[in-house]
Amino acid sequence: MMTRLTPLALALLLTGCSVGPDYLRPSNWLPTAFSSAAPAPETVNPAVEARWWTLFADATLNDLIDQALRSNADLRSAIARVEQADAAAREAGAAYFPAIDGQVGGSNSKLSSKTATWTANAPDILRARSAVLTTSYEIDVWGRIRRSNEAARANLLASRYGRDAIRLSVAGLVSSTYLNLRALDARLVLTQESLRSREDSARLVKAQVDAGQVSPLDQYQADAALAALQAQLAEVRRDRALAEHQLALLTGNPQLTIAAGDLRQVPLPPLPPSGLPADLVDSRPDIRQAEQQLIAANANIGVAKAGYYPQFSLTGSLGSESKTLSGLFGAGASTWSVGLGLLMPILDFGRTTARVDQAKAINEQSLIAWQNALQTAYKEVRDALVRLREDGEAEMAQKIRVDNAQQALAIANTRYEAGYSGYLEVLEAQRTSNDALQAMIVSRQARLSAAVDLFKALGGGWRDEMKDNATAPATTDGAS
């Protein structure tokens, strides 16, 4: 009896081994601090708000992002991928348990009387009825099933982090597009005001030409400047419509229309501290997604390596057989069987080694992708900090430029009306003033967009809801 149980006992003792490398988080090699200047202390918010876009104090923006988080196509696809990964993880987990099948059958067969085994006492027709439960169970000696589950769970977490990364990206894209639309609204107002001023100037010049007070050259110059501004107005209207169409796509609302507003009414929100570069590892869902993909790739090395070793399986059946249906569950009709199977690889001409090499190559790709995600995050934070600092300086300079340009325009108008200069001087002053006003709006938009980029780069207040259940790996110099 002991001899017959020895293989089974050995297999059970070996259960708990797992071939392949255990995952250890690689060193991230990020600098200890961001080299770019942080936001000014008076603008700093102690932590990133989860709904950071509400800090712009714009009800329309809040509504657009809420719509996008409900209906955006990319986000809905990401949610479906989470459901797919969850089903795959449940399928992988089912391998821990035996498969049980039921089978009921019945047959009638007639024997030939011309065979050597036939006897006169044999019945002409053989009848058989059966009902059987069968089961099979793979003993996970080498950890193939455990590694498969490890990979499936990591893929599930990666899909969840991917969904959260898309949610953050959608909120950022809606915010940036909305700020662009509001900048175009402001530019549209300025262009229309400039156009009305040019029209008044053109009528005045025409009257002066008709009265013989000025040269017809002044009228040609005024009409050309008016046409240039009309073209600019058409371009701004076009760009505004395209921005609105983009927001309609992002929110999943094809009929979306947005009333006119003004970027100059949108405040600069209180900005979060940049923190330490190492904080990015756990504060950005895209980095956590890349790490879970690395964990899955690492586990799949173990799945591939398990192919080098024999597979142990338990099989069994319990049922009954009878020649009549009424006797199927009677005394003496019961049947059972139990067995231990072993499938041993002998010669596969390098197939398993090729699978292991593929798994290692995928693991290396995943490691590089994770490292690149870290470096990209570090760059995005630095870029946002630089843009905030420099765009703030640019906006202040643009305000000075606008003040000077408007004073110059007033002087040019006075000189022209007094006859001290030609109309070309007025046109140049008008053009300079218009350009300065337009540039100030662009600078304001750039600064607000940089704030959006900083919120996104720092993770947008994301919190890892799965962190307590996810792997808490140690840190080493590289992946196994």
Domain-located, residue 401 = yes
pLDDT mean across residues, the chain = 86
Distance CA 148, CA 298 (A): 11
Distance CA 2, CA 11 (A): 14
Q: Hey, what are 396's tokens?
A: 């202040």
Weakest-pLDDT range from 102-111, 291-300, 308-317:
102-111
pLDDT band at 31 (very low <50, low <70, confident <90, very high): confident
Weakest-pLDDT range from 19-33, 118-132, 195-209:
118-132
Domain-located, residue 240 = yes
**CB contact at 8 A, 167 and 366:** no
Task: State the pLDDT at residue 171.
Answer: 97
* Residue 468 predicted with pLDDT over 60: no
Instruction: State which residues form the domain around 438.
Output: 13-97+142-309+351-472
Please enumerate in sequence order all residues whose Cβ is within 8 A of that of 181, keeping only pairs 6 or more positions apart, or say none. Answer: 240, 243, 244, 247, 258
**CB contact at 8 A, 384 and 450:** yes
Domain-located, residue 34 = yes
Residue 299's closest CA among 25, 20, 24? 20
Distance CA 139, CA 285 (A): 36
pLDDT band at 445 (very low <50, low <70, confident <90, very high): very high
Helix (H/G/I), strand (E/B), else coil: 208: helix
pLDDT band at 118 (very low <50, low <70, confident <90, very high): low
Residue 95's closest CA among 152, 164, 161? 152
pLDDT band at 216 (very low <50, low <70, confident <90, very high): confident
Helices (H) and strands (E) in the chain, counts: 9, 6
Task: State the pLDDT at residue 184.
Answer: 96
Task: State the pLDDT at residue 132.
Answer: 86
Q: Hey, what are 187's tokens?
A: 């530019």
Domain-located, residue 379 = yes
Task: State the pLDDT at residue 272.
Answer: 82
How do 25-26 and 99-110 pair as beta strands? unpaired
Task: State the pLDDT at residue 479.
Answer: 39
CATH number at residue 219: 1.20.1600.10
Helix (H/G/I), strand (E/B), else coil: 108: strand
pLDDT digits (tens, 9 = 90+) for 153-165: 999 999 999 999 9
Token match 């700093």: residue? 44
In our burial notation (b when 16+ CB lie closer than 10 A, e otherwise), range 230-252 reads eebbeebeebbeebbebbbebbb
The fraction of the chain above a pLDDT of 70, given in percent, is 88
Domain-located, residue 113 = no
* Residue 324 predicted with pLDDT over 60: yes
Query: Between residues 173 and 30, which one has the greater pLDDT?
Result: 173
The fraction of the chain above a pLDDT of 90, given in percent, is 55
Query: Between residues 27 and 113, which one has the greater pLDDT?
Result: 27
Domain-located, residue 104 = no
pLDDT band at 471 (very low <50, low <70, confident <90, very high): very low
* Residue 170 predicted with pLDDT over 70: yes
Domain-located, residue 394 = yes
- How many structural domains does the chain have? 1
Domain-located, residue 314 = no
Weakest-pLDDT range from 189-193, 269-273, 321-325:
321-325
* Residue 201 predicted with pLDDT over 70: yes
How do 475-476 and 25-26 pair as beta strands? parallel
Distance CA 312, CA 342 (A): 5
